[in-house]
Amino acid sequence: MFRDDFVWGVASSSYQIEGSDPEDGMGKNVWDTFMEKGKMKDKGDAKVSCDHIHHYKEDYRLMNNLGIKAYRFSLSWARIIPNGVGEVNQKGIQLYRDMILEMKKNGITPYITLYHWELPQALEDCGGWLNEEIIEWFAEYARVVVENFGDLCDYFITINEPQCFVGIGYMQGAHAPGKTLPMKDIFQIAHNVLRAHGRAVINMRKYAGKKIYVGYAPTCGVAYPISDRPEDVEAARKVYFGFYQPDENWTWNVSWFSDPVFLGHYPEEGMKKYAEYLPKITQEDMDLIYQPLDFMGQNIYNGYYIQAGKDGNPEYANRPIGFPITASKWPITPECLYYGCKFIYERYHLPIFITENGLSCADNVALDGQVHDTNRIEFLDLYISQLQRAVDEGVDVRGYFLWTFCDNFEWEKGYTERFGIVWVDFQTQERIAKDSAYWYQKMMETNGANLSINHHPRTLLFFEPKLIKRVWGGNRLKKEWGFEGELEDHIGECWVVSSNEQVDCVVNRGFYKGKKLSELWNEEPDLFDHMEGDEFPLLVKLIDAKEDLSLQVHPDDAYAGLNENGSGKRECWYVLDCPEDATLAIGNKAQSLEEFSRLVSEGAWDQLINEVPIKKGDFIQIEPGTLHAIKAGFMLLEIQQNSDITYRIYDYDRVCEDTPRELNIEKGLQVMKVPNLITEEDIFHPVNTKNVIQRLIMTDHYQIWSLEVAAPLVLQNEWPFLIVSVVEGDGLVDGTQVSRGNHFIIPNGYKTCKIQGSMKLVITAPVI
């Protein structure tokens, strides 16, 4: 989990939430002009937005009620100094002071951002960020800010996301001020922005009147490796700080906007690549930019795959088809928070605040009057879990600010995107805390104890089946049941839920994908209610007998523990298919061990073997000490103790790899039950009752039910876990489509499971 003094908060920007008032004395900024030109996606404007300037007391009370202790917000330069320079608007100063006092009254620590893209229009008319005078304009604004709010605030951030307003605002023209300037001008603007930052830091420290903490908040998509191979990680690091972007998108660069601020120089690679566009850069400039900072902000939303090519050079890797995205079509890439923080900290060695992270969802108010934004909760859980992963590995992350508190004006997209954990009705200004707000409250209260990284989710566990070659096997498991594998013939078994030396099944979907069952048993014991034992206790397999299997017997736990250093083996068969008028060899006709031994030595199998009539759908329990054999033409579902200790009594003189198969008659006689005459009354015949769970088998190690699903039902799980085998038909299990041949575990704590369709299930639980 996170450290006790970790800062949890929310973030916003002034223009996106505040709104306006004809009497507030605020000046015009570049976004006002941009909107007047009809550049918004929904033709809206920000004149009201969340009307925060009239609702801030209500909003801060709501923050308080939701447990929010820190708030990163920006000031409007034009609200404080309407023309950008000159006369200060005292109404603006008083409004912000009142806001900050109200925050503190509600136990909220303010984090002030000076510039979040809202350049006063009067300064843009004078050349804006292209005019080198803006370095002093911004420094004077910084002085006014700390002189008026330094007594109330300790934390200040100079500039937010220069990559965005420089690249999107001045090069691409999609943001205010909507210009498409030549490359040389863009590099001059970027240089001016960084010099303005440095000059502002100097003024803030000079005029604050006390010790303050100052940072800077750039952004960028994160290059992260497609795998954890060292070569892929190094390739991603190289791209993240390198210059692989096309020229028309060059501002989406980490090192150009961070190296000067945190290392005191521009990156050499960029200086060479863009030499023809660069302004004059002096050592005096670099000394100005390279001011001591207390922390670095990072706005991180998503990333992109990088891999090492065959020649060792980095390559962009495509995301799989159907890769998850947000409502704003941004990819969902939780690993970006881990690798972004890891790479940044390794390079710059300053404490990090995640100053923005979040997503837009297609939220709506449900019929119950609430907003159920499950997607946002899952997004935040995955991302913040990756942030904890970085912290756990020693990355110095001090805080996290969720973007954003209230749904608001999303720049050129207007009101078509909702990023907030609080719903805003833009017609009535009603606020509704979304489900994610309550989840975030709990996460903050516990410092992340409720994150999946600390408390892994309960999910259905589906496994990759494994085909096993047997001398007596057929190929129906592949041809009729559709199991895939390299084997073509003699496919006697398919192990579907197993954790032992022969087969350790691997989860093939969901949160635990790639994990072996043995790993889950050892690393995630809560999934199995912390059952005792060194290994998963049960084993489930499908058996296709093209020929008769050997006559065999299994020991009980006591004998196996004493003589085999293992456990005994009891098993249950469910008959999936068999010939008409079929029989199975179960039990024996001998009256004593002496008679049993004599009949074996004489090969008098007809006098020894006990045949029991069997039909499709029967359940047969095989207890330790019971002579038994599966016969040709049978297909079975076998549920057993996780043991493979078997003593063969007779094997039809079969040869495997030019060697007769080993017999174990002496050991078999030591564990054999005699007399042991099994009759048809010992066979379990399920009653054909639909949607009713029938318990058929109860042993010291497992119990087994049969369920024929014909209508929707809810399966209750009160056991350490349940193994479910779909033996006929198909349907849905909690939204996942299943069909014949699917097997899965319902883990401990997964209390209810919604099932519908037309199918037969065999359900197994361990006995504790």
pLDDT at 705: 96
Structure confidence at residue 536 (pLDDT)? 96
Last residue of a domain, one of 445, 476, 507: 445
648 closest CA partner among 631, 665, 623, 660: 665
Residues 201 and 115 in one domain: yes
Residue 148: φ, ψ to 5° = -95, -20
Region 597-620: mean pLDDT is 94
Cα 321 to chain center, whole Å? Answer: 18
Peptide bond between residue 465 and the one before it cis (omega within 30 degrees of 0): no
For the residues 625-629, what does the mean pLDDT come to? 96
Instruction: Output 376 or 655, whichever has higher pLDDT.
Output: 376
Do 429 and 496 fall into the same domain? no
197-230 pLDDT, tens digit per residue, is 999 999 999 999 999 999 999 999 999 999 999 9
Q: Say if residue 638 is in the same domain as residue 618.
A: yes
Please tell me the predicted confidence (pLDDT) of residue 456.
Answer: 83
Going by the DSSP 8-state scheme, the letter that residue 711 receives in this structure is S
Any idea of the CA torsion for 437, 442, 446, 451, to the nearest 10 degrees? -80
Q: Is the pLDDT of residue 570 over 70?
A: yes
Q: What whole-number distance in Å separates Cα of residue 57 and Cα of residue 102?
A: 7
* Cβ partners under 8 Å of residue 280, min gap 6: none
Encoding tokens for residue 704? 């087994």
CA distance 327 to 68: 25
pLDDT at 300: 98
CATH number for the domain harbouring residue 326: 3.20.20.80
Taking 90 as the threshold, does the pLDDT of residue 659 lie above it? no
Q: Does residue 452 form part of some domain?
A: no
Q: What is the pLDDT of residue 768?
A: 81
Query: What is the β-pairing status of strands 551-553 and 538-544?
Result: unpaired
Specify the number of domains making up the chain.
Answer: 3
Query: Does residue 42 carry a pLDDT above 80?
Result: no
Q: Are 423 and 371 in contact (CB under 8 A)?
A: yes
Q: What is the pLDDT of residues 96-140, one digit of tens each?
A: 999 999 999 999 999 999 999 999 999 999 999 999 999 999 999
Domain co-membership, 711 together with 565: no
Final residue of a structural domain among 657, 682, 707: 682
Q: Which one-letter amino acid corresponds to residue 583?
A: T
The answer to whether 334 touches 382, Cβ cutoff 8 Å, is yes
Which residue range is the domain that position 28 belongs to?
Answer: 7-445
Query: Are 93 and 119 in the same domain?
Result: yes
Q: Are residues 381 and 478 in the same domain?
A: no
Asked if 416 and 494 sit in the same domain, the reply is no
> Burial letters for 98-122: b for 16+ Cβ neighbours within 10 Å, e otherwise?
ebbebbeebebbbbbbbbbbbbbbb
The helix (run of H) or strand (run of E) holding residue 729 is strand 721-733
- The pLDDT of 459-467, averaged and rounded, is 96
**Residues catalogued as catalytic:** 161, 356
DSSP letter, residue 698: E
Report the distance separating Cα 192 and Cα 133, nearest Å. 9
> Does 455 fall in a domain?
no
With 80 as the cut, is the pLDDT of residue 51 above it? Answer: yes
pLDDT above 70: residue 525: yes
Span 533-542, mean pLDDT? 95
pLDDT > 70: what percent of the chain? 99
In a domain, 687, yes or no: no
Q: Phi and psi for 734 in degrees, rounded to 5?
A: 45, 45
DSSP structure string for 142-186? HHHHHHHHTTT--EEEEEE-HHHHHIIIIIS-SSTT-----HHHH
Please report whether residue 607 resides in a domain.
Answer: yes
Q: What is the mean pLDDT of residues 504-526?
A: 95
Domain boundary among the residues 682, 710, 745 is at: 682
Across the range 406-415, mean pLDDT stands at 96
In a domain, 453, yes or no: no
Tokens of 40: 């918004």
Q: What is the DSSP letter of 456?
A: P
Q: Which residues of 35-50 are buried (b: 16+ CB within 10 A; e: fewer)?
A: beeebbeeebbbebbb
The pLDDT-based confidence of 506 (bands split at 50, 70, 90) is: very high
Examine residue 56 and state whether it is found in any structural domain, yes or no: yes
One domain, residues 608 and 747: no
What share of the chain has pLDDT > 90, as a percent? 93
Domain match, 290 and 266 both: yes
DSSP conformation letters of 435-453 = HHHHHHHHHHHTTTTTSTT
Structure tokens at 667: 């050991």
Both 224 and 268 in a single domain? Answer: yes
Answer yes or no: do 474 and 563 share one domain: yes
Residue identified by tokens 């923005």 is 356
Phi, psi of 757 (to 5 degrees): 130, -160
Q: Which of 727, 744, 755 is nearest to 573 (CA)?
A: 727
On whether both 357 and 489 belong to a single domain, the answer is no
Q: Are 767 and 703 in contact (CB under 8 A)?
A: yes
Inform me whether the pLDDT recorded for 28 exceeds 80: yes
Q: What is the CATH number of the domain that holds 746?
A: 2.60.120.10
Is 678 domain-assigned?
yes
- Rounded to 10°, the helix 335-348/230-241 angle is 70
> 657 pLDDT exceeds 70?
no
d(CA 643, CA 578): 26
**Residue 483 to residue 485: CA distance in whole angstroms:** 7
Separation of alpha carbons 254 and 235, rounded Å = 15
Average pLDDT, the chain: 96
Residue 593 CB: number of other CB atoms within 10 A? 14
| pLDDT of the residue at 767 | 92
Answer whether residue 689 is part of any domain: no
Instruction: Kindly give, in sequence order, each residue whose CB lies less than 8 Å from that of residue 322, ignoring residues fewer than 6 positions away.
Output: none
Average pLDDT value for residue range 311-337: 96
- Cα-based distances in Å from 190 to 78, 135, 233, 289, 447: 21, 12, 29, 12, 38
pLDDT at residue 6 is higher than 70: yes
Tell me the residue length of the chain: 768
pLDDT digits 0-9 by tens, 442-455? 999 999 999 999 98
The Cα 350–Cα 406 span in angstroms is 30
Give the tokens for residue 419. Answer: 């990023």
The alpha carbons of the chain give a radius of gyration, in whole angstroms, of 35
